[in-house]
């Protein structure tokens, strides 16, 4: 069994078509078919169900796909590990929750310093990003912490204040009045949504209505709150400009629920490539510099 066979198998599985895989890999279709059949003979099983619309994985095929993802990722890491440590290159795919207001500046600084790194960013809610990292689809992600998982390691990035926001003109005037307004939330799996629900539960109040924005962005959520449709929980840094203009009113949440630490996570069984090493160093430096209003205690990094 060769790594190239696993790459062919993985591409066919992802695209659900031998012909599409052949086009993607720049192979003739007969070669792809032969390599898949050779793999099936070697393993003594059928990996795909063939039908008119393409192919789908059998149960054994799904089992092989899980191993193939790990093997391919490991081989790619080995190759990247031997690149120049001080001038890293190659792909680095990371994720981030949409509410980290300084993320654009952070990524810009990293790219300026390491332009040969092919950096890609995926946004989503914390739970979704955790799954993507665990399944080797992301090299790492910035999520709402703390994160406790035996297969993940976390690095503190920044601590922020969380506030309830509402329209200033005609909106609620007190924290208690906020409890009578609809909640504006991202889909399930969002750390801020979970915190807001915890606060309502702690106060013994049932939300009058929950409005979920499944595919919305932070900008959408802020616009809806600014229009007076309800309240939401966000980092104060994301609404500072609206608060200064007087269009949004912020309400402080007392206790631990009013603060959140954004952490960077990665799998603990993956090799730290040169690109990842530099990213972790940049995270460490960014967490204590003057870019943030409240620098965090310097974490103990071992990279």
| 129 domain-assigned | yes
Main-chain phi, psi angles of 110, to 5 degrees: -65, -45
User: What is the token pair recorded at 89?
Assistant: 């290159």
18-25 and 3-15 are packed helices; what angle lies between their axes, rounded to 10 degrees? 120
| 294 domain-assigned | no
Q: 103: domain range?
A: 90-159+260-286
The pLDDT value recorded for residue 193 is: 83
The CATH number of whichever domain residue 16 belongs to comes to: 1.10.10.10
- How high is the mean pLDDT of the chain? 85
| 291 domain-assigned | no
User: Is 118 found in the same domain as 56?
Assistant: no
Which position has the higher pLDDT, 69 or 101?
69
pLDDT in tens, 18-71: 999 999 999 999 999 999 999 999 999 999 999 988 999 999 999 999 999 999
Nearest to 17 by CA among 65, 49, 64: 49
The answer to whether residue 293 scores a pLDDT higher than 60 is: no
pLDDT in tens, 260-277: 888 999 999 998 888 999
User: Is 237 found in the same domain as 180?
Assistant: yes
d(CA 130, CA 108): 24
Domain limit, last residue, from 63, 81, 99: 81
pLDDT in tens, 204-224: 878 888 888 766 677 888 888
pLDDT in tens, 181-206: 888 888 777 777 888 888 888 888 78
| 182 domain-assigned | yes
User: Is 146 found in the same domain as 165?
Assistant: no
User: Is 234 found in the same domain as 221?
Assistant: yes
User: Is 212 found in the same domain as 124?
Assistant: no
| 295 domain-assigned | no
Domain limit, last residue, from 32, 61, 81: 81
The CATH number of whichever domain residue 255 belongs to comes to: 3.40.190.10
d(CA 101, CA 105): 9
Nearest to 189 by CA among 128, 138, 142, 133: 128
Reported as type and span, the H/E element at residue 263 is strand 259-267
User: Is 155 found in the same domain as 169?
Assistant: no
Question: What is the mean predicted confidence (pLDDT) over 139-147?
Answer: 91
d(CA 160, CA 299): 16
User: Residue 96: beta bridge partners?
Assistant: 123, 142
The pLDDT value recorded for residue 99 is: 77
User: Is 173 found in the same domain as 254?
Assistant: yes
pTM for the model stands at 0.63
Percent of the chain with pLDDT over 70: 92
- Asked if residue 157 lies in contact with residue 142, where contact means CB atoms within 8 angstroms, the answer is yes
Question: What is the mean predicted confidence (pLDDT) over 84-104?
Answer: 84
Name the 3-class secondary structure at 247: coil
Question: What is the mean predicted confidence (pLDDT) over 145-156?
Answer: 91
User: Is 117 found in the same domain as 171?
Assistant: no
Domain limit, last residue, from 46, 81, 116: 81
Count up the domains in the chain and report the number.
3
Least confident of 20-24, 103-107, 115-119, 293-297: 293-297
Which position has the higher pLDDT, 84 or 268?
268
User: Is 249 found in the same domain as 168?
Assistant: yes
User: Is 154 found in the same domain as 272?
Assistant: yes
Residue found under tokens 């793999």: 39
User: Is 143 found in the same domain as 62?
Assistant: no
| Burial zone of 24 (CB within 10 Å; 0-12 exposed, 13-18 middle, 19+ buried) | middle
| 232 domain-assigned | yes
The answer to whether residue 142 scores a pLDDT higher than 80 is: yes
| 300 domain-assigned | no
d(CA 172, CA 90): 50
User: Is 51 found in the same domain as 180?
Assistant: no
With bands split at pLDDT 50, 70 and 90, how would you rate the model's confidence at 300?
very low
Give residues with Cβ within 8 angstroms of 256, minimum separation 6: none
User: What is the token pair recorded at 117?
Assistant: 């790194």
| 56 domain-assigned | yes
With bands split at pLDDT 50, 70 and 90, how would you rate the model's confidence at 297?
very low
């Amino acid at each position: 069994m060769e790594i190239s066979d696993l790459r062919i198998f993985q591409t066919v599985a992802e695209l659900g078509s031998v012909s599409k895989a052949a086009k993607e890999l720049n192979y003739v279709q007969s070669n792809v078919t032969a390599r898949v059949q050779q793999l099936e003979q070697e393993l003594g099983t059928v990996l795909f169900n063939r039908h008119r619309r393409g192919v789908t994985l059998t149960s054994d095929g799904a089992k092989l796909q899980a191993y193939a993802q790990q093997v391919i990722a490991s081989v790619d890491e080995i190759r990247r590990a031997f690149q120049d440590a001080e001038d890293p290159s190659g792909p680095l795919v990371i994720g981030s929750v949409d509410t980290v207001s300084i993320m654009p500046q952070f990524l810009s600084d990293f790219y300026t310093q390491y332009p040969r790194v092919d950096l890609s960013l995926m946004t989503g809610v914390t739970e979704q990003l955790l799954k993507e990292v665990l399944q080797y689809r992301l090299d790492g992600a910035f999520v709402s912490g703390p994160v406790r998982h035996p297969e993940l390691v976390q690095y503190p990035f920044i601590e922020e204040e969380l506030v309830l926001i509402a329209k200033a003109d005609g909106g609620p005037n007190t924290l208690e009045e906020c409890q009578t307004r609809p909640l504006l939330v991202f889909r399930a799996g969002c750390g801020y949504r979970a915190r807001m629900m915890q606060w309502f539960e702690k106060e013994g109040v049932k939300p009058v209505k929950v409005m979920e924005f499944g595919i919305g962005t932070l900008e959408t959520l802020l616009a809806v709150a600014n229009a007076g449709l309800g309240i939401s929980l966000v980092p104060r840094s994301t609404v500072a400009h609206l608060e200064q203009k007087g269009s949004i009113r912020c309400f402080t949440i007392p206790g631990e629920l009013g603060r959140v630490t954004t952490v960077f996570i990665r799998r603990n069984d993956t090799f730290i490539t040169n690109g990842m090493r530099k990213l972790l160093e940049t995270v460490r430096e960014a967490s204590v510099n003057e870019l943030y209003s409240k620098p965090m205690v310097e974490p103990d990094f071992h990279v």
